């Protein structure tokens, strides 16, 4: 075995620090010394950093040679029905920052049909180069042609970083691209930065439902690829005098062939805003007592321009469609404000919303776990409080 973790019996003082930090439960104490269960160990190195006595030696051998020629920070700009999605602007915002640190160009990639006019819009969002591939088969997202085009572009221009939104399209596409290029991909980063020294991309993401954070590197492969969820970064500001160039690419016909075919696209979001993109979410749980009472939340949402979310309990009871479910088996959201009404806050719900900027909890049970993550909480009857909130916000916001 080339890769291994060894704990020196001589150096280990039995302080148990390593046991506490191991995210995988692979370390335990045996006769006052730490021992490792290699079947559980993933060689992540958390214990090596925690050990104050240099008792843990980790051997990690890796393959791959870094391509020093690779240059440019790329953002895959997702469009739907010809409209560039806001997550792309957010990635351009972060991408600009990274590109400046690397003294590299910021490049946008735009795939679609009759979308060329959008390229200028991306330059105004501070892209230095926009790569455009325009073809009828790229009008709607399809796994095969999108993957083929992006892979060809990457192989031709060799970017050092590729960023993509962690949307349903992005996640489907970018995993395939990373495999074809044979490089690393880090999902759902909440922090991106450049290591000043080695110029590596520092990709920070929550693991285990946000209970721990991990910083991930792709040291020996290029491009370094990462996805980011909606609302994590600020949109690139519009600079009408920013200069950039548009490079149009075209490929052989076989590149655009798709094995799957879209027969129909159905939009069914019942409220006006989709929860992944919403700045404010008003969410209801079992405490709503029935589907008819979600009207109270809708009234509040209308005043706040918010989307409606739901706990699993309310979805399972048939009160709300699954597309509104927040939590482990639903969607993960991080709006500016999350208002939880009648949601007790089981861990499966919390992992889906605890990274929201501000969390408001309204619950009649003062011991409900939702209050442990709440920025503000009101203990009381939501049927009294929610209509009052609607009324007061209406006054305060002049709506």
Partner 1 sequence: MNNILVCIKQVPDTSDVKINPETNTLIREGVKSIINPFDMYAIEEAIRLKEKFGVKAVALTMGPPQAEAALKEAISMGIDEAYLVSDRAFAGSDTLATSYTIAKAIKKIGEFSVIFCGKQASDGDTAQVGPGISTHLDIPQVTNVKKIEEINTTTARVERMTEEGFEILEIPLPCLFTVVKEINEPRLPSLKGIMRSKNAKIQLLNAAKLDIEEDRLGLKGSPTLVSKIFSPQRRKSGEIFTCAAEEAVEKLVNALKNYIH
Distance from C-alpha of 227 to C-alpha of 184, rounded to nearest angstrom: 11
Q: Which is nearer to partner 1, 176 or 242 (CB)?
A: 176
- Give the residue from 308, 315, 239, 301 showing the smallest Cα distance to 275: 308
Q: Which is nearer to partner 1, 106 or 164 (CB)?
A: 164
The bridge status of strand 245-249 relative to strand 201-207 is: unpaired
Residue 117 CB coordination number (10 Å): 8
Minimum separation from the CB atom of position 12 to partner 1 (A): 19
Q: Which is nearer to partner 1, 239 or 391 (CB)?
A: 391
Q: Which H or E run contains 203?
A: strand 201-207
Minimum separation from the CB atom of position 39 to partner 1 (A): 4
Q: Which is nearer to partner 1, 183 or 293 (CB)?
A: 183
DSSP string for 22-87: -TTS-EEEETTEEEE-TTT-----HHHHH-TT--EEEE--------TT---EEEEE-EETTEE-HH
Minimum separation from the CB atom of position 132 to partner 1 (A): 24
Q: Are 359 and 374 in contact (CB under 8 A)?
A: yes
Q: Which is nearer to partner 1, 11 or 391 (CB)?
A: 391
Residue written as tokens 């605890």? 354
Q: Which is nearer to partner 1, 241 or 254 (CB)?
A: 254
Q: Which is nearer to partner 1, 126 or 271 (CB)?
A: 271
Side-chain half-sphere exposure of 282, counting CA atoms within 13 A:
24
Q: Which is nearer to partner 1, 106 or 304 (CB)?
A: 304
- Give the residue from 94, 267, 71, 271 showing the smallest Cα distance to 165: 94
Question: Cα 194–195–199 angle (5° rounding)?
Answer: 80
Cα-based distances in Å from 242 to 34, 128, 129, 234:
57, 8, 11, 18
Minimum separation from the CB atom of position 378 to partner 1 (A): 5
Q: Are 125 and 238 in contact (CB under 8 A)?
A: yes
Minimum separation from the CB atom of position 241 to partner 1 (A): 26
Distance from C-alpha of 114 to C-alpha of 110, rounded to nearest angstrom: 11
Minimum separation from the CB atom of position 173 to partner 1 (A): 8
């Amino acid at each position: 075995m080339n890769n291994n973790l060894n704990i020196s019996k001589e150096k280990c003082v039995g302080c148990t620090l390593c046991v506490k930090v191991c995210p995988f439960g692979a370390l335990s104490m045996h006769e006052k010394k730490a021992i490792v269960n290699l079947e559980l160990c993933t060689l992540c190195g958390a214990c090596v950093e925690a050990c104050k006595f240099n008792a843990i030696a980790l051997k990690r051998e890796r393959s791959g040679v870094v391509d020093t020629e690779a240059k440019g920070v790329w953002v895959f700009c997702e469009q739907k029905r010809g409209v560039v999605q806001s997550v792309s602007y957010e990635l351009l915002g972060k991408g600009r920052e990274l590109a400046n640190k690397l003294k590299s160009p910021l490049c946008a990639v735009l795939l679609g049909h009759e979308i060329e006019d959008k390229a200028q819009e991306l330059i105004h969002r501070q892209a230095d180069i926009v790569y455009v591939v325009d073809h009828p088969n790229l009008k709607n997202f399809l796994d095969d042609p999108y993957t083929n085009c992006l892979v060809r572009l990457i192989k031709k221009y060799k970017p050092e970083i590729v960023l993509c939104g962690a949307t349903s399209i992005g996640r489907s596409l970018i995993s395939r691209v990373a495999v074809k290029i044979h490089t690393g991909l880090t999902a759902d980063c909440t922090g991106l930065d450049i290591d000043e020294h080695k110029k590596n991309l520092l990709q920070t993401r929550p693991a285990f439902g946000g209970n721990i954070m991990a910083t991930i590197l792709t040291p020996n492969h290029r491009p370094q690829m990462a996805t980011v969820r909606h609302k994590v970064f600020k949109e690139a500001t519009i600079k009408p005098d920013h200069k950039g160039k548009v490079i149009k690419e075209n490929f052989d016909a076989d590149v655009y062939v798709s094995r799957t075919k879209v027969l129909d696209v159905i939009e069914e979001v019942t409220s006006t805003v989709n929860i992944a993109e919403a700045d404010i979410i008003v969410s209801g749980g079992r405490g709503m007592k029935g589907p008819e009472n979600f009207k109270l939340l809708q009234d509040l949402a209308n005043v706040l321009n918010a989307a409606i979310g739901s706990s699993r309990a309310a979805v399972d009871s048939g009160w709300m469609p699954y597309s509104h479910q927040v939590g482990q088996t639903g969607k993960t959201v991080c709006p500016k404000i999350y208002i939880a009404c009648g949601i007790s806050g089981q861990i499966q719900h919390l992992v889906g919303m605890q990274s929201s900027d501000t969390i408001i909890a309204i619950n009649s049970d003062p011991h409900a776990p939702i209050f442990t993550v709440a920025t503000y909480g009101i203990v009381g009857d939501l049927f009294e409080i929610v209509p009052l909130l609607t009324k007061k916000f209406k006054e305060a916001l002049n709506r």
